[in-house]
Structure 1
Amino acid sequence: MPIASAVRTTCPYCGVGCGVKAMLTPDGALIEGDPEHMASRGRLCVKGSALGETLSLDGRLLAPGIREGGTLRRASWDEALDTVASRFASIIAEHGPDAVALYVSGQLLTEDYYVANKFMKGYVGSANIDTNSRLCMSSAVAGHKRTFGEDLVPGCYEDFELADMIVLVGSNTAWCHPTLFQRMLKEKEARPSLRIVAIDPRRTATCDLVDLHLPVKAGTDVWLFNGLLSYLARTGAQDNAFVAAHTSGLDAALLEAGGCADIDFVARTCGVDPRLVMEFYEAFAATGKVVTAFSQGVNQSSSGTDKVNSIINCHLLTGRIGKPGMGPFSLTGQPNAMGGREVGGLANTLASHLDLDKPAHRDAVRSFWNAPRIADKAGLKAVDLFRAIEAGSVKAVWIMATNPVVSLPDADQVKRALQRCELVVVSDVVGTTDTATFGHVLLPALGWGEKDGTVTNSERCISRQRAFLPAPGEARADWQAICQVAQRMGFMGFDYGSVHEIFDEHARLSVWRNSDEELGRAFRLDALTNMDRAAYDALEPLQWPVQHDREGTPRLFGDGRFAHADGKARFIATAPRAPVHALSRAFPLALNTGRLRDQWHTMTRTGKSPRLAGHTPEPFVDLHPHDALLSGVRAGELARIKSQWGAMVARVTHSGGIARGAAFIPIHWNGQTASDARVGAVVNPEVDPVSGEPEFKHTPVRIEPFSVAWHGFALSRDDLDLASVANWTRVRGAGFVRYELGGREPVSPGWARRLLGANEDADWIEYEDHTGGLLRCALLVDGRLQACVFISRRPDLPSRAWLGDLFAHEELSPKDRATLLAGQAPAQGLDPGPTVCACFGVGRNTICKAIVEGGLKDAQAVTACTRAGGNCGSCLPEIRQLLAQHLLAVPADAGA
């Protein structure tokens, strides 16, 4: 039965924070964009649109478990919580509070985050609580605090529509923040004079839609922006009145930037044509309304904090901050990275934007919580935390809603740490993640659609996540699990009856002693204090600070006053420095990592959606053809990627967007979706000395052939035993599981039957060409395709899309059986090809056919004909590439 009306909630993916309307129907969950949500205005990207496909209980952790002697057994909540509480208490009693830790996540809601922080810092008495937001946004936090005096994002999304120039630095916005990018493009269509600049080592999907692309060498951003600062000062672009009244530290910043005054030097260092650098500098100087948005490409660096400050310096010098259409803008990665920052989720911060290193701040928080103690020093940041676990100084860790065995750098070290840890507690929605396999206690958590609370997006917008599904099995909210452990440890102050009570306490802390000059801060939720449950349930999206009414505050610093005691912003002198680990003969390529268009983090959620798997179904390493040649690998074949920390296997591709000397690998694959594709095992663990954020964008690697005797794939309704396969990846199709395979041993007689589980009496189709090394087999049950496997010595195998469609047939016709043996669709029109538009399931062949037969000339015409590109727009760059390829293939005099 459908619910009475749609539930308005918030998407659980990127930091844009799109509004979602969810309704249960007899066929499942209907997901739509919320046109009333200020962040997205009804738009959803393909991941958000596919949320309804991720809600099954397949693979869910539905009851607590305790692992004894390597065997996981089911336990009651009481037994599991008693175990956690007693073990934490005994370790603290023997070794002190710093012997235990929490590692949490931007997937938590603000209320979960708040309780976890209160538990550790105010009651356990240790700041050993860090978050996976350390891996993506902590350099932005540190940069904001150095310049502004507090972790504050000055602007709002509307500024992208009011700007005359948008600079995207280290951000593949088209794929990683799609609905926000579509707002930019819609504004550019209406106002072509809007100039968009991309600064990125790769030519990404974003770069295909901008006016200017600067393909800077990874790690050289500070040289570029120090050069810009120097240029702006020399050419009279400085706002002298603003600088004099509202800033300090300019002389030192300009002195440091003077080393980048020579544009030719900057261009050589960054590996960019000097004319492009000059074009960027001149455009920035001449344009008053400039928004500079930066993301992981800036933050994830051993000099990430300096990169952030070098960008902000340029806005301070020109007074382009605090006003409509201008300012530096940090694009957060996760849905609640900002909310975690508000409640002190990082190991070096306190709740409510207060500081651990200030006695008055510590006293304010301790007294508000009525806590027995308060942490008095920064805790261990993520990378150091897992080193301390391996060393034995941290003996218990509680991991919530994150998968560090996959996502942290030097991920094999994380494995070693958890193997040696006395107590590993894992709260998650899935019990078989790479991390959960090391858990001594597993606690089933609520997932999106089941949990209730708030999140804060990149523009400081607080939104409600509301439940529209019942709690499955015995799953509980993370805040409930924390509170029940705290109570068992004898801690008072954790007797919340609802999530609304936690939010109210969070809001009241934001104004606690705020009249004290030493405690005054911009983060305030005055108008949200003392709300009753009905008001909390009905809370509309709004941007903090929220002081006098519930209208929110779109922009900060409009009055020129910043959060430092003297009210002035600080210029920060940023000394350029190269990545810590240099390239060498042994490791000659710089590895960059990042997200794909249709996947999220370690695929715990997106991996359930068949349509999200169609665009990029297996891990790849993107190389320049010259580097592939030098490495002895070829496009379409498998390669091993090695660093001094670890190795993985991926398929070689040439996108055309990678410079010589560089490589790119996506971050998403894990031990459940691939045999050997955790890129975290390869990434170096070097961190920024200020923020502690790891260097995910520059790891020296080498590429080697991963030789196999054959390539193949299998589609099956049931999971397959792949013990005999050298390399595999796994994704979900519509009614089947798809495997990409590589084998080192020749295929023996009967191998395919054993793989697919076919006995001698099975309805079996087989074609084998010993000379050509081809094998095509299919298993049918009651005339219906159950499984198939295709093997070849070469990687150019038949289309998976056409074969996948056969699984929808109740019974295969004789023609279908014949085409299985032939290894190709009966007609090209029946094979849509690899997915291009996942929103509407439109394949490459379908688009190419429409271009040819319809004489289509632009992406708008392709959308009108096929619907491809008509939703989130993230496939538009690929559609434009197909159009360009067609035009190149057509003779100049064709049609004359």
Structure 2
Amino acid sequence: MDDRPSHGEGLLSAPAGLDLALVDATGTPERSVPDAVRTTCPYCGVGCGVTASVDGTGLASVKGDASHPSNFGRLCSKGSALAETLSLDDRVLHPRIDGRTADWDEALDLVAAKFRSTIAEHGPDAVAFYVSGQLLTEDYYVANKLMKGFIGSGNIDTNSRLCMASSVAGHRRAFGADTVPGTYEDLELTDLAVLVGSNLAWCHPVLFQRLLAAKAARPDMKIVVVDPRRTATAEAADLFLPIAPNGDVALFNGLLSHLAREGKADAGFVSAHTSGLDDALAASAADIEITAAGTGLSTADIATFFQLFAATEKVVTVYSQGVNQSVSGTDKVNAMINCHLFTGRIGRPGMGPFSVTGQPNAMGGREVGGLANQLAAHMDFDEIARDRVARFWGTDRLASRPGLKAVDLFEAVGDGRVKAIWIMGTNPVVSMPAANRVRDALARCPFVVVSDVVSGADTAALAHVLLPAAAWGEKDGTVTNSERRISRQRPFLPLPGDARSDWWIMTQVAQRLGFKKAFAYEGPADIFREHAALSAFENDGTRDFDIGAFENVTNTDYEALEPFQWPAPKGGNPPTHDGRFFATGRFYTSDTRARFIPTPVQAKQDYSGLRLNTGRIRDQWHTMTRTGKTPRLASHIAEPFAELHPSDASQLGVTPAGLVQITSAHGAAVARALVTDRQQPGSVFVPMHWTTEYAPAARIDAAVSPAVDPVSGQPGLKLTDVAVTPFAVAWYGFAASRGKPVLSDLPYAAAARAKGGWRLECAGSDTPDDWTGYVTTLLGLPKDAEVVSYQDAAGRSFRFAAFHDGRLAGAFFAAPEPVAVSRNWIADRLDDASFDGHGRMSLLAGRAGAHAPDQGATVCSCFDVGVNTIIAAISSGAAVTVEAIGVCLKAGTNCGSCRPEIKRLCDGHHLQKTG
């Protein structure tokens, strides 16, 4: 579930010896790079428009595209920092075979030969593709066509299996197709927004700000947040429901029963446009007491929620990974949809179930058949659809059945059924559940191909052939966001070295496999036209996905393509109402009726330890191959953490800021303890971003269970039985250095970029006899550096600073307990030009003096505003509200994702004054 990174610090000047001649996707020196382009952000499924520029010195800058209907110019902290992630220092610039540099012909010939011989000896199901929501739709289309249409196997799956597969399955069961009914505008038009398993404030910040702006304009709008954790999103809730893990089905079954008891059915809609209600009601039967037992919520909170939902016509239920990433995720989706079908609240402005996707092109991948159990254009593997797609593609090799879904796919790699795999734009050695098992499977696989951008990704280290793919800023094609809006992603940077577009790489292999005619594309516009034509082929309104209006789009019009929502059929008569589906009650089932799906509550599972929940943080993205390159995004949260409730921490003997080990039957990880009552007792939350490159011991998905939802095949990344124990170390350390520290020999290490180099949290099992020598090696310091240091008499604490050419080369602090120093202030000193004697002593003290106040940990990444600066403004009375802080310090006035934290600081000050 990884990102596709690109070029740190917005600097595009080439390393010595690197030819940055402009090339098009086929290697021809024809592509020109304009001064500014309108493109699309490569992060979450909101699909924000971006305007990117490159100045005469090669520096890139980005800003929000004010004309794009998804974001109207607003960007989140990650999007705002895109220009800082565009370095070439870690790029894969040339094909590699077994670690040595090769040219394209040698690499492509080898890939084709290995796939051909494997298929000839073992059949087409012995090979597989594992692709990514970071691919553009045109890349995805070629991958799916090659594997399912011409190799003849269904073995292509995507990391979107880890994100949205349960939503897809729920849509298909209820609607007959993977159709998201509503639009972003519904969040602004609704009177009740129910956010379920969605930390919208951190994971989809721009969409969250649209919701908050609507609530500010209409204060009577209500927001309900359903989540086991009190996240930043919950700070905006009128009602927060701290539901027990996996309690969602019980909650919405109880709601359906309540709506039935209160006579809230839209009887006309249900009678004319649905089926299966009686079975769904029988499976969901529950009163408030039963609902409370299944959800862990109070009867009073449940009653309030039920009354709000029953009394409010315009309700939008927004859900994301907290729902999908579950072994009962599909039932959760259908339990929510059942409530909307029962009340007829679907397809009209301000109402409906709404799935928000995690990746920029998760939806595009679903459109082209990127999931193993689907054909292209939202078609299934039924006989009629198979015949239709085979005729359209002109193939007699079309796969006869679905392929292996992600977890099963890597199990097949491990046991030898799959003998050759091509992984594109994703990092499953970090992001898959039971990640160590995936790593071991790939290490045993006879032939592994990886197309990627960075060389340091864990998965890339296992490639027999590593292919240099184009990155964001160089790629050319389309993506589809969560509201079915297709937007262009356009290049504004040259392709560096031998990097090429994914679609081109795959077509070259396809042609070498003997399928030249079917893969004779000259550019992404060719692929888009074919994709559009297939969506309309023998459709006549019988399938939801139809963009036939673009099947003859010219190259010029493709270049200028404006964002649009599907469907967009030929003739311009989509079966929608204001961009919405199902207002007329016509669904895509065999009888055009929606299906109520029975969703019985599963028996509660017993846990021997704590329940592990994984997810994202505000300023990092997937496995950090892009966001990890910018110091600004590391300044908010710079290391992995394990969020524990105080009662659990006390019982387990865990001290705040100490280290803990999280262990399951599948693996283990180490993280910093964050003790907070925002977490539920009995649970632990750990973010999923850290990799071997940044924190070797913190790959939390190594501990996650590979159990999957039986309908969707999506793994339950939110719930694993784990033991949490204190991680004993002899010393804790913090360091800053100009070069990247050596992490491999430390039992715990978490490195992050700093303005002038790197910062490091670490811990050791043994106290070195020679601290100076140890630190010099750890930080890679010059041998002739000037060193100042301090060690206490007992030898338990050590402070060290090394200077070279008058500048700080490295600083290190160690103690038997977590080190209390001003981390951001120390890391920022790497960027200072020189140090006098007073400055050197301040460094050893680990904090600034009165002449240079320490701003503290970053709260607002957009404007680099720290917690101490905000607290000072509040305490002085200069600004005591979120809005006033924005006026005074600018904090919270860009993407807004830090506003919940600022509000918490303001509220804490008010409580302190009145206490």
**TM-score, normalisation: structure 1:** 0.96
Residue in structure 2 matched with residue 708 of structure 1 by the alignment: 729
Aligned pair partner of 1:624 in 645, 648, 653: 645
Alpha-carbon shift at residue 91 of structure 1 (Å): 0.4
Superposed CA deviations along residues 398-442 of structure 1, whole A, max 9, x for unmatched, are: 000000000000111101110110100000001221111111000
Matches for 1:283-322 after TM superposition, within 5 Å: 283-322=308-347
Instruction: Provide the residue aligned with 2:547 in structure 1.
Output: 525
Q: Which residue of 1 aligns with 2:68?
A: 37
Q: 1:535 aligns with which of 557, 576, 594?
A: 557
Q: Give the letter aligned to residue 60 of structure 1.
A: R
| Residues 445-844 of structure 1 mapped to structure 2, 5 A cutoff | 445-491=469-515, 492-515=517-540, 520-548=542-570, 554-578=579-603, 582-584=606-608, 588-749=609-770, 750-758=773-781, 761-771=784-794, 773-827=796-850, 829-844=852-867
Q: How far apart in 2 are the matches of 1:562 and 1:755?
A: 62
Aligned 8 A contact 1:806 1:812 in 2 = no
* 1:833–1:513 Cα change, 3 Å: same
The CA distance in 2 between the partners of 1:723 and 1:433, in whole Å, is: 15
**CA deviation after TM superposition for structure 1 residue 723, in Å:** 4.4
Aligned-partner Cα distance in 1 for 2:573–2:680: 47
CA contact (8 A) 1:426 1:439 kept: yes
Q: 1:326 is aligned with what amino acid?
A: M
Distance of 1:251 and 1:757 partners within structure 2:
69
Kindly report structure 1 stretches of 4+ aligned residues shifted beyond 4 Å. 1-5, 548-553, 757-761
Q: Normalization by structure 2: what TM-score?
A: 0.94
Bigger mean CA deviation after superposition, 768-777 or 857-866: 768-777
Alpha-carbon separation, structure 2, partners of 1:616 and 1:50: 15
After TM superposition, give the deviation of residue 756 of structure 1 in Å. Answer: 3.6
Relative to structure 1, the CA distance from residue 434 to residue 582 in structure 2 (aligned partners, 3 Å threshold; closer, same or farther) is farther
Q: What letter is aligned with 2:453?
A: V
Distance in 2 (CA, whole Å) between partners of 1:351 and 1:55 is 33
Q: 1:442 is matched by which residue type in structure 2?
A: L
Letter in 2 for 1:533: N
User: Within 1, Cα distance between the matches of 2:521 and 2:170?
Assistant: 35
SS across alignment from 1:790: strand
Query: CA separation of 1:440/1:757 partners in 2, compared to 1, >3 Å: closer, same or farther?
Result: closer
Alignment match, 2:7: none
Aligned to 2:113: 86
Report the CA distance between 1:503 and its aligned residue: 0.2
One-letter identity of the residue aligned with 2:200 = T
Cα distance change, pair 842–551 in 1 and its aligned pair in 2 (3 A): farther
Matches within 5 A, 1:48-87: 48-67=79-98, 72-87=99-114
How far does residue 304 in structure 1 lie from its aligned partner after superposition? Answer: 0.5
Partner of 2:23: none
Change (3 A) 1:882 1:549: farther
Contact persistence 1:418–1:424 (CA under 8 A): yes
1:201 aligned to which of 220, 228, 244: 228
Cα gap change, 1:551 to 1:786, in 2 (>3 Å): farther
Contact kept, 8 Å, 1:528 with 1:550, in 2: the verdict is no
Q: Which residue of 2 aligns with 1:11?
A: 41
Deviations 1:745-792 (A, max 9, x none): 113223223334456643111111133722111111111111111111
Query: Deviation of residue 27 (structure 1)?
Result: 6.2
| Partner Cα distance (1:722, 1:402) in 2 | 23
1:236 aligns to 2:263 (yes or no): yes
Secondary structure of 1:320's counterpart equals coil
Contact kept, 8 Å, 1:9 with 1:466, in 2: the verdict is yes
The more displaced of 488-497 and 1-10 is: 1-10
> Deviation of residue 5 (structure 1)?
4.5
Provide the secondary structure at the position in 2 that maps to 1:830.
coil
| Letter aligned with residue 594 of structure 1 | G
**Considering only aligned residues, what root-mean-square deviation do their CA atoms show, in Å?**
1.5
Q: Distance in 2 between matches of 1:873 and 1:846?
A: 17
The one-letter code matched in structure 2 to 1:375 is: A
Tell me, in whole angstroms, the C-alpha distance in 2 between the residues paired with 1:707 and 1:207: 34
Please state whether the residue corresponding to 1:115 is helix, strand or coil.
Answer: helix
Query: Share of identical aligned residues, percent?
Result: 56
Go from structure 1 to structure 2 and tell me whether the alpha carbon gap of 1:760 and 1:134 turns closer, same or farther (over 3 Å shift): closer
Q: Is the 8 A contact 1:507 1:524 kept in 2?
A: yes
For 1:345, give the aligned amino acid. Answer: G
Corresponding letter in the other structure for 2:545: F
Aligned to 2:194: 167
> Which residues in structure 2 correspond to 1:116-515 (within 5 Å)?
116-258=143-285, 260=286, 262-356=287-381, 358-491=382-515, 492-515=517-540
Aligned counterparts of 1:723 and 1:681: Cα–Cα separation in 2: 18
What SS class does the counterpart of residue 68 from structure 2 fall into?
coil
Q: What's the secondary structure of 2:617's corresponding residue?
A: coil
What is the aligned counterpart of 1:868 among 865, 868, 891?
Answer: 891
Deviation at 1:394, TM superposition (A): 0.6
2-side partners of 1:705 and 1:4: how far apart? Answer: 55
Match of 2:51 among 21, 35, 51: 21
Secondary structure of the corresponding residue to residue 63 of structure 2: strand
Letter in 2 for 1:649: V
CA separation in 2, counterparts of 1:805 and 1:551?
58
Q: Which amino acid aligns with 1:443?
A: L
Q: 2:526 corresponds to which letter in structure 1?
A: E
Please list the CA deviations of residues 700-749 of structure 1 after superposition, one character each: whole Å capped at 9, or x if unmatched. Answer: 00111111111111111112234442210111111111111101111322
Structure 1: tracts of 5 or more residues without a match = none
Change in CA separation of 1:828 and 1:99 when aligned onto 2, cut-off 3 Å? farther
Per-residue deviation, residues 68-123 of structure 1 (Å, max 9, x unmatched) = xxxx1011111110110000000000000000000000000000000000000010
The count of corresponding residues between Structure 1 and Structure 2 is 878
Tell me, which stretches of 5 or more residues in structure 2 are unaligned? 1-11, 13-31
